[in-house]
Amino acid sequence: MAILPEDRLKLRHFRLIVAIEDTGSMRKAAEELGITQPAASNALHELEYILGVSLFSRSRSGTEPTSFGKTLIKRGRFLLSNVRATADEIAQAKNGDVGEVHVGILPASALTILPLAIKRATETKPNITLHVIEGATGQLLPALVRGELDMVIGRIPATQIPENIDREELLAEPNEVVCRAGHPLAARGRLTLADLAEAKWILPEEGAHLRSDFHAAFVHGGLRPPDPIVLTSSTVLRLTLIETTDLLGMLTRRTALQNQERGTLAILDAKLLSPTPPTLLLTRADAIATPVASVFAELIREASKTLEG
């Protein structure tokens, strides 16, 4: 019986080519995998010999995958993701809810849905390890497609979501304009767009849905949108600066109310933005979810229903 090329492929081959693309060099890939550089080079040569094609080329910017390499890496990420899911499923069958979940979170959801879901996970599923990455849409969606994340939670415009991503609506809520407690504007009544245009702002970076709505609100009102003083995707930094400076910012209504009740922020009487898109739970349509990822996704849904109620 003839030995086919696919019969000679091994997981170590796929781990290697994924590591080479992620790190940009053979040396760094070898370090990440805990092997020597000659061993990594031999494994790559072996894989290229099996397939009969060149998978990488060297350039000034580093080691770049060829078109064949890109195809194999894409399949390799999917394969490694499903291997991890299978291993986690077996571990769960032996030990209960055990395993790791990799979650991507956009800033707004980091202050509402996620903390409640994590609280419930620690109370009811203590053997789950959560890896949470907060970032922008342009960072998180590619990581989800590559299989590096099990899910992404946030308000993301439908036009930015790839076709192979499943989306589930979790929660819809408006945004509020907020400032520090004691801010001069906090004592005033209804504020106009002109009032807000004169203020100093801290906002998410370009590409965030909130930033686009902020810009559109002033344009539709016939005013030039103010240029933010600070642009950041960091929720912690945004909250800290709003609480301690005269910068204005935007927060979801629940987060704004929570901080107003604590006495750190004030919600301004300013209806700046139109209704915002709902918070979504995004997962890969072509991936097998690990048991613990499915468990945590259900906790996310429960948290959303609690907040909605």
List pLDDT tens digits, range 245-264.
999 998 888 888 888 999 99
Residue 266: is its pLDDT beyond 60?
A: yes
Residue 308: is its pLDDT beyond 50?
A: yes
Residue 4: is its pLDDT beyond 60?
A: no
Q: Write out the H or E segment, with its range, that includes residue 166.
A: strand 165-171
Of the candidates 264, 269, 289, the residue with the CA atom closest to the CA atom of residue 81:
289
Residue 102: is its pLDDT beyond 90?
A: yes
Q: b/e map of 75-101 (b: 16 or more CB within 10 Å)?
A: ebbbbbbeebbeebbebbeeeebbbeb
Task: Answer for the pair 300, 205: CB distance below 8 angstroms, yes or no.
Answer: no
Task: Answer for the pair 98, 304: CB distance below 8 angstroms, yes or no.
Answer: no
249 phi and psi angles, rounded to 5 deg: -150, 180
> What confidence tens digit (pLDDT) does each residue in 60-88 have?
777 889 999 998 998 888 888 878 777 77
Task: Name 256's Cβ contacts closer than 8 Å, sequence gap at least 6.
Answer: 176, 178, 265, 267
Q: How far is residue 233's CA from residue 236's CA, in Å, rounded to a whole number?
A: 9
CA distances from 263 to 179, 191, 256, 266 (A): 11, 21, 11, 8
User: Could you tell me the pTM of the whole model?
Assistant: 0.61
Report helix, strand and coil shares of the chain as percent, to nearest 5: 50, 20, 30
> In a 3-state reduction of DSSP, which class is residue 60?
coil
Express as a percent the part of the chain with pLDDT over 70: 92
Q: How many CB atoms lie within 10 A of CB 289?
A: 19
